[in-house]
Amino acid sequence: MTIKQMSLTLRIAAVYNILWGAWVVLFPNHFFELVGMEYPVHPMIWQGMGMVIGVYGLGYWWAAHDPLTHWPIVAVGFLGKIFGPAGFFVNYASGAVPFEFIYTLFTNDFIWWIPFFLILKRANQEKKIKWI
């Protein structure tokens, strides 16, 4: 993956995250209407998640200026994209969340696994990242 491709990927991720975050904050019940789930009892928690996702978008935008130098922002995003689905599957298995919630994972997490991994791999090769 070239630096240009990394920057483009991060800019697309930024725009997506900012738009998704704004959608969730401004229209907290809309996702639940679309997938036929009950509305959340405390929409403020869902809106808080939207705010966090939107802020990640700002980080991705800034990281796009120099992805290899700003690899920690990509790493934090990548970890969220791993732990979010892991949390879903644990909660789904315990019956705490309906299966329909998986729809958020496709565009918020799964599609970013490979490009974010490739950015981190390249940063590790060129910057000799000290992970711990």
- Domain ranges, ordered by start, for the chain: 3-127
Q: pTM of the predicted model, to two decimals?
A: 0.92
Q: Where are the alpha helices (DSSP H) in 1-112?
A: 3-26, 30-35, 43-63, 71-93, 103-108
Residue 97 tokens, joined: 């969340």
Over the stretch 81-90, which tens digit does the pLDDT of each residue have?
999 999 999 9
Is the predicted pLDDT of residue 127 greater than 90, yes or no?
Answer: no
Strands (E), the chain: none
Residue 129 pLDDT: 75
* DSSP category for residue 2: -
Residue by residue, DSSP assigns 6-23 as HHHHHHHHHHHHHHHHHH
The count of C-alpha atoms lying within 13 angstroms of the C-alpha of 65, restricted to the half-sphere facing its C-beta, is: 5
